Structure formats: structure tokens, C-alpha cells
Structure 1
Amino acid sequence: MELSIIELFLNASFVVKAVIVFLILASIISWMIIFERWLYVKRINLEFLDFDTRFWSDDGLEALLATSREEGHNPVGAEYIFQVGYLDYKRLSKEKLTEDIIMESVHRNMRVALSKEQTLLEKNLPFLATVASVSPYIGLFGTVWGIMNSFRGLAGASQATLSAVAPGISEALIATAIGLFAAIPALIAYNKFITDSDNLISNFESFKEEFLAVLYRDIHTD
């Protein structure tokens, strides 16, 4: 008789059920993270393109800062790095400090801001990496356990036939299938988001250096 996946799950041992439930939960959480990260990376990319265009316009740094600090506006990415750097530059320029000290402080604070942005870009990615690497092994554990139970039950049977052991093996193999179902999307998403993060950080780094060059020119013309 052909059994459905639900029937196979209901007939499985407690350990196999626990493994399957754990893997399903891990998969659900992974998909939630994938969706949230996709939206976040898309937003950061769009805002970077918009800010980069405004930065190289003729409006000036003060106008750009005013827009960046508008109420309800939450600067992220390159815009956040710009805000941190330019506010520090303005504050230190009012004090009697050398140009080198001012620029060193600005550079340091912008590096810290860049590091914070990198942390935000890589948020929850370790969980995806863990699911991708561990899920197949957890599924395999459930499969091995289920097969052991099947053969243990077969030992007490009067006649050893394939039909007697097949349902138990089918139940056990579900764990491996779900383990792969959880791992494969998590692995693909992890690699994609790591690549996206590296590309964005590279763009932020380039912007930081370009902005520092602008500030160097500004401080030497005052």
C-alpha cells in the first residue's frame, strides 16, 4: 500500500519525528531570514545608488548633510558613513587641531561606521551557514536511526520480507530528504548574500576614500 508523507511521518519513531520537526523549523527560519535579507540588501543597493548620485551633484556637502539628517530619515550604508565622517570633520574643524589630527580622527570614525554597516549586512548569515552545513548530517542521523529501528523490528518478525521493512526505511529516508531541503536553499542564499555584502562593502570603501579626498581638498583650501 502506498503511504503519504504525512502517514510516514506519523508512523515514524520519536527520534525521527524530532529530527524532522527540527529540520522543518530550521528551514522555516532560514526562509524568513532569506526573505528579510533579500529586502534589506535590495534597499541598501537602491539607497547607495541614490546617495552616490546626490553626493556627486553640485548641491554641496552641507545640503547633503541636511537631507541626511531630516526627521524620519534613517541613513544607512554610504550615507551613514558620510554623516559620521562629515559631522566629525565639522566638529574638529572648530577646534585648534592640526589637519593631520583632524583627518586621522575622521578616517578612524568612518572605518568604525563601515565596520558597523558590514555587521548589519552580515546579520543572521551565520545561521544560514550553520543550517547549510549541519542539516544534511542531522537528516542522515534521523535516517540511520530509523533504519536501525526497522531492522530491529524485523528481527522479531516471523518472515523477513521487503514489504515488512520498506515502510520503516521510507520513514527514515524522509529525514535525509528534509535535511537536504533545508540545507540547499540556505547554502545558495548564504553564498549570494556574502557576495552581495562583499560588493557593497567594496562600494562603501571606495566611497569612503573618495569622500576623504574631498575633505582633504576642503581642509587645505580653508
Structure 2
Amino acid sequence: MPTAPAALGSVTATQFGVDAVAHDLSMWGLFMSADLIVKVVMIALLFASFWTWTIIINKTILMRKLNRHANNFEDAFWSGGSLDTLFERVGTRPRDPMSAIFGAAMREWRRIAGKNGVKATLQERVDRVMQVTLGREMDKLERSMTFLASVGSNAPFVGLFGTVWGIMNSFSSIAASKNTSLAVVAPGIAEALFATALGLIAAIPASIAYNKISSELNRYGNRLDSFSNEFGSIIARQLDEER
């Protein structure tokens, strides 16, 4: 008779060991054992995180390159050399937005400067061409920024949806098995919370990068606008001297 409780305890311990081993709590294990809906949420968040970092790296490299090109162009522009020579060098195949603005203004200048009756509107037309070019170039630079903003604001809620769905499934399993031991509850809760973690992993870099890159784009846009105004002033002085 004394051996029966020992045998029962042995079976219970063995069964508990099997349950503990059956659940892999690594990240891959949590993903593989998750519900289909939770898996879809995790895959979507992983893709969003990958694409977010792709945009961050691309925009960071691009902004450094654009500022370097702008510095080189401004050095050449304010060096006192001929604007026609500078246009021949960079205006036909601009490498950056500042060169594109300069090239568009010079083309408009050359196209109508020698015609009679249009000098009165030349300044206005050149200014309009520069503003249109500036807007078009900034639109190109701001591509993908909407994606960063969307990930930064919505990824936590997507992860929370996966968490709620996973916890609902866990509670359903608990109710069906009528077993509330930690070994049964913990894996399902861990799978659900993993979705929330992935949402935060995607959202935090996207939010920080959006604010930083937006600030850099605003500074660069102001730099382009300042150049347009300065070049417009040069053209205005040139027209005044010809009158």
C-alpha cells in the first residue's frame, strides 16, 4: 500500500517532464507553435521591420550623398565662374535636386531670354520653373516616408491583435482541457506576447527614423528653397542691368 502514492507521483512527474519538453519556448518554437492567424501577424510584422530597416539605410545614405553633392555644387556656383559653363557641366544631367533646379532655370532662361516681349515675364517664369522642379524633387525624396509613419503608428496595434487572438486561443484550450497548470498556460501566453514584442520591434525604429529623416528632409528642402531664392535674385539683377 505505501508504494501506490510513490508510483502516482512518479507518473505525474514524468508527465510534467514530457509537457515541459514538448513546448519549445525559443523564438522559432513560439512561431511554429502559434495559431495560423498569429503566424500571419508575425510574418507581416517581420516583413514590416525588414522593409523599415531597408528604407532607413537607403534614406540615410541618400541624404548624406545629397548634402555632399549640394556642397560641391554650391562651391562651384559661388566660385565666380561662368554660369553657362556650370550649366554645360551639370545642367544637362543633374545628379541631385539642386543641380536639377539650376538646370531647369537655365534652360528656361536660354529658351526665352532672346525673345522680344517676354523679358517682363522672364523672372516670374524662371521662379515658377524652379518651384515646380523643387516640388517634384522633394516628392521623390519623400517616397516611402508614409510607410515609416504607418508602421510606427500601427505596428503595435497589429501586434496587440495577434496577442489578443493568441490569448483567446489559449483560454479556449484551457477550458477544453480543464487544466490550469502553468505548464499548460505559459506556452500559449508566450506565443501571444511574442506578437506584441514583434510589433514593438517594428514600430520603435520606424517612429524614430520617421522623425529623424523628416527633419533632415525639411532642412534639405529649406536649403533648396534658399538656393532658388538666391538664384532668382541673381536673375532679377541681371534683368535690371539689361533694361
For normalisation by structure 2, the TM-score amounts to: 0.87
3-state SS of the aligned residue for 2:177? coil
Aligned residue among 118, 141, 145 for 2:165: 145
Shift of 1:32: 1.1
Q: How does 1:106-145 map to 2 (within 5 A)?
A: 106-145=126-165
Q: How does 1:66-215 map to 2 (within 5 A)?
A: 66-69=88-91, 73-215=93-235
Alignment-derived partner of residue 4 in structure 1: 26
Q: How far apart are the structure 1 equivalents of 2:179 and 2:50?
A: 42
Q: How far apart are the structure 2 equivalents of 1:207 and 1:150?
A: 61
Shift of 1:199: 0.1
3-state SS of the aligned residue for 1:160? coil
Is the Cα–Cα contact under 8 Å of residues 150 and 169 in structure 1 kept in the other structure?
yes
Shift of 1:219: 1.6
Asked if 1:65 corresponds to 2:55, the answer is no
| 151-160 vs 138-147, greater mean Cα deviation | 151-160
3-state SS of the aligned residue for 1:156? helix
Q: Deviations over 1:15-53 (max 9, x none)?
A: 111100010011111111111111111111111111111
Is the Cα–Cα contact under 8 Å of residues 139 and 176 in structure 1 kept in the other structure?
yes
For normalisation by structure 1, the TM-score amounts to: 0.95
Percent identical pairs in the alignment equals 37
Is the Cα–Cα contact under 8 Å of residues 91 and 104 in structure 2 kept in the other structure?
no
Specify which structure has the bigger relative contact order, considering alpha-carbon pairs within 8 angstroms and separated by 6 or more residues.
1
**Counterpart amino acid of residue 90 in structure 1:** R
Q: Deviations over 1:66-113 (max 9, x none)?
A: 11146xx43322111111011101211111134331111111111100
3-state SS of the aligned residue for 1:47? helix
Q: How far apart are the structure 2 equivalents of 1:159 and 1:27?
A: 37
3-state SS of the aligned residue for 2:221? helix
- Gaps (5+ residues) in structure 1? none
Is the Cα–Cα contact under 8 Å of residues 41 and 121 in structure 1 kept in the other structure?
no
Is the Cα–Cα contact under 8 Å of residues 91 and 99 in structure 2 kept in the other structure?
no
Aligned residue among 11, 19, 42 for 1:20: 42
Aligned residue among 15, 25, 32 for 2:54: 32
Aligned residue among 46, 69, 73 for 1:47: 69
Q: Which of the pair has more CA radius of gyration?
A: 2
**Counterpart amino acid of residue 84 in structure 2:** E
Q: 1:18 and 1:221, CA in 2 relative to 1: closer, same or farther beyond 3 A?
A: same
Q: Deviations over 1:147-196 (max 9, x none)?
A: 00001100012332222111100000000000000111111111111101
- Gaps (5+ residues) in structure 2? 1-19
Q: Which runs of 4+ in 1 moved over 4 A?
A: none
Q: How far apart are the structure 2 equivalents of 1:138 and 1:31?
A: 18
Q: How far apart are the structure 2 equivalents of 1:99 and 1:160?
A: 86
Q: How far apart are the structure 2 equivalents of 1:53 and 1:185?
A: 35
CA RMSD of aligned residues (A): 1.3
